Structure 1
């Protein structure tokens, strides 16, 4: 598990799985833009703090490196949205890769491949490119979108729209039907357009 604990995919999957179990939800209902204490999770602040303790215990057991969360960090992030919490936690446990993927102070003049695409982030994009017909869920695209500072919101409970000011069009994916290859390719084209605009 020590190798797995060194990857973004492991920690994102662990947090999503924790939510599925503790909020009694299907994975399709995980919404990164909502806070732990809001619908559809409705978890108490105490339960969120307990989750942090469980994640730290898993980290310490898996990597053999002792991580201690300060009280200030715990209190500062207990009211985060799920997406913001994932990014903040990745910065702690994967400082070398998390900073590259999420550093809001990165120079906008530099290539996006350096300022926005951390190594684990590239792996997720490569997986999308290699297998656009895979069993992708909205949360998979939301994770990438949050790292690219893309805006996304659910509309009418059946679709989700992704936007970014540097791209003149938006991408819409279904929430209840299967995400098909054309949806994935449109999403990837949007990211490529953001890369192009940043150059």
Structure 2
């Protein structure tokens, strides 16, 4: 049997033994007479990788094109807890219900961010934040309707949300900002009002 026209896959056949004789067969093609013929599809061989014909750019040139990782100024505009975030329309009820089943409540922040440097650009996202509670647990962010995501140049400002699901028996201690591949720096601890205690 031929593979369909335009197919990039090769069809091969192997002989499958009846289930009662399966343990007696050590490899395809050695099945006893009367067994079923079943097709298998194997991917076609991959073409070789193309060689890179353009010259490599120098480190200095590539650094000019890449966003500058400079410092970021972060201002917390508001903090909403649970139903307050739902009433403000920034999280879905299903998000609250999902985390309520795991004994967590949602804490939402509206953030205003701007690069502190005077040159280059900086990519900032809700994924660049973590929340630490008073017992030292670190929480990863949840996606919200107005999640923070922007590429900012000098003098530009972006606004957006970031939310976390925190255990019911815990309270937030500080918001952390990514400063490197795997490093985070705490923002001021005076952020949290007594209402979150």
Higher helix share: 1
- Length-normalised TM-score, structure 1: 0.19
Would you tell me which structure has more strand in proportion to its own residues? 2
Q: TM-score, normalised by structure 2?
A: 0.19
